[in-house]
């Protein structure tokens, strides 16, 4: 009989089987705009084409960067879908056509993008989820400040609250490719006009693109990538019955309310649980005063509970 401790984890094996039925998500992650995420993604696409793999561009943002635009040559692309909104015509990724063509790999830039009303989905990461569910591999690009669980940390670093974020569960089974350059090199690229046009570059250098901000965001990206790799390694070891020192199973709990500070506590609890590789609970204590609470407070509570659920918490309601 095989010793119990040397058997593969059935949950890990089941997760592996389910993942094999979906497309694979590859995320080119960077600390900020201008580090070369889209360039690296296009370079990887060129390599896949040389290997003979069917590949299409679903959506790419070059931001006018000459080097990036040069890489577009020779890569087939799906024409965008025109959408009329409030009397104006906008372009969005043609999700229906990509699903119809069903390439092996599709490139979808700007994962955190919000689609124009009238699109099949409200957010681009939802488009990507549909592509993955259809068995299509997706290459995408994302900045660290657009990850939901890091939203308040980024706001503390930069003073800017990101409105467009991607739920952490979207990245859970992805392969992360960190595109990293020193902050000094990025500031040099900014000064040379390789990130934004001159007028935008001046404003960026005076605000978001400060050396302290870029250094802190770079460290955040490095830490996130390391943590992601650790989780991938542990999953692999469990699925293949490789013994190793498993972390103690602590549990984290956070109390949720309608307070505007509750979302910060929820994200902090998620980050702590992720670092400890522990399950976590979001507890809401139902008390009589909320029965007469205003609509604003009720909506705030619902938003906070939704955030906790999106970040993977077990929701518990206690009547007090």
Is 129 within the bounds of a domain?
yes
- 167 shares a domain with 86: yes
- 261 shares a domain with 233: no
Higher pLDDT, 316 or 137: 137
Of 71-75, 138-142, 314-318, least confident by mean pLDDT is: 314-318
Tens digits of residue pLDDT in 144-203: 999 999 998 999 888 888 899 999 999 989 999 999 999 999 989 888 888 876 667 667
Tens digits of residue pLDDT in 110-123: 999 999 999 999 99
Going through 25-96 in order, the beta strands assigned E by DSSP cover: 25-30, 55-59, 81-85, 88-92
Query: Residue 252: its pLDDT value, please?
Result: 85
Query: Residue 202: its pLDDT value, please?
Result: 66
Alpha carbons 178 and 304: distance in angstroms, whole number: 30
- 287 shares a domain with 177: no
Percent of the chain beyond pLDDT 90?
50
Alpha carbons 177 and 229: distance in angstroms, whole number: 10
Query: Residue 245: its pLDDT value, please?
Result: 53
CA 47 vs CA 29, 51, 53, 57, 155: distances in Å = 19, 6, 9, 14, 37
CA 163 to chain centre: 14
Can you give the CATH number for the domain in which 288 is found?
3.40.50.620
Percent of the chain beyond pLDDT 70?
82
Query: pLDDT averaged over the chain?
Result: 85
Query: Residue 230: its pLDDT value, please?
Result: 58
Query: Residue 1: its pLDDT value, please?
Result: 44
Can you give the CATH number for the domain in which 211 is found?
3.40.50.300
CB 244 within 8 Å of CB 284 = no
Query: Residue 295: its pLDDT value, please?
Result: 84
- 161 shares a domain with 20: yes
Query: Residue 2: its pLDDT value, please?
Result: 41
Q: Is pLDDT above 80 for 281?
A: yes
Cα–Cα nearest to 109, from 31, 40, 162: 40
Count of H-run helices and E-run strands, the chain: 11, 10
Tens digits of residue pLDDT in 69-99: 999 999 999 999 999 999 999 999 999 999 9
- 153 shares a domain with 273: no
CB 187 within 8 Å of CB 214 = yes
Q: Is pLDDT above 90 for 139?
A: yes
Tens digits of residue pLDDT in 229-272: 655 555 554 555 555 555 555 778 889 988 888 998 999 888 88
Is 287 within the bounds of a domain?
yes
Q: What is the extent of the structural domain holding 309?
A: 252-319
Both tokens of 268, joined, read 């902090």
> Average of pLDDT values for 286-306?
78
Query: Residue 35: its pLDDT value, please?
Result: 93
Is 247 within the bounds of a domain?
no
Alpha carbons 112 and 247: distance in angstroms, whole number: 32
What is the value of pTM for the model shown? Answer: 0.74
Alpha carbons 115 and 172: distance in angstroms, whole number: 22
Total number of domains constituting the chain: 2
- 292 shares a domain with 212: no
> Average of pLDDT values for 210-227?
89
Q: Which letter, b or e, does each residue of 47-65 get, where b requires 16 or more Cβ atoms within 10 Å of its Cβ?
A: ebeeeeeebbbbbbebbeb
Instruction: Please name the residue ranges forming H helices in the chain.
Output: 10-20, 37-50, 66-70, 95-101, 124-133, 151-158, 183-191, 198-206, 211-239, 262-276, 295-310
């Amino acid at each position: 009989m095989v010793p119990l401790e040397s058997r593969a984890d059935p949950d890990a094996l089941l997760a592996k089987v389910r993942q094999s039925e979906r497309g694979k998500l590859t995320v080119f992650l960077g600390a900020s705009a201008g580090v070369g995420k889209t360039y690296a993604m296009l370079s990887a696409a060129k390599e896949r084409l040389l290997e003979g793999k069917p590949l299409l561009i679903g959506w790419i943002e070059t931001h006018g960067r000459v080097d990036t635009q040069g890489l577009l040559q020779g890569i087939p692309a799906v024409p965008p879908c025109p959408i009329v909104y409030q009397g104006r015509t906008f372009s969005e990724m043609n999700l229906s056509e990509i699903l119809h063509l069903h390439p092996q790999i599709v490139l979808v830039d700007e994962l955190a993008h919000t689609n124009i009303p009238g699109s099949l989905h409200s957010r681009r990461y939802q488009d990507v989820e549909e592509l993955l569910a259809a068995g299509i591999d997706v290459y995408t690009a994302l900045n660290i400040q657009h990850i939901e669980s890091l939203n308040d940390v980024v706001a503390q670093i930069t003073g800017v609250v990101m409105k467009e974020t991607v739920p952490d569960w979207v990245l859970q089974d992805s392969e992360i490719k960190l595109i990293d350059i020193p902050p000094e090199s990025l500031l040099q690229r900014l000064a040379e006009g390789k990130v934004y046009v001159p007028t935008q570059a001046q404003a960026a250098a005076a605000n978001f693109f400060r050396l302290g901000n870029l250094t802190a965001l770079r460290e955040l990206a490095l830490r996130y990538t390391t943590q992601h790799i650790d989780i991938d390694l542990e999953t692999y070891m469990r699925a293949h019955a490789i013994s190793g020192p498993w972390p103690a199973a602590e549990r984290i709990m956070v109390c949720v309310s309608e307070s505007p500070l509750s979302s910060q506590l929820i994200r902090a609890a998620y980050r702590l649980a992720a670092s400890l590789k522990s399950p976590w609970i979001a507890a809401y204590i139902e008390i009589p005063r909320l029965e007469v609470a205003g609509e604003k407070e009720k909506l705030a509570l619902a938003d906070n509970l939704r955030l906790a659920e999106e970040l993977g918490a077990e929701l518990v309601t206690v009547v007090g």
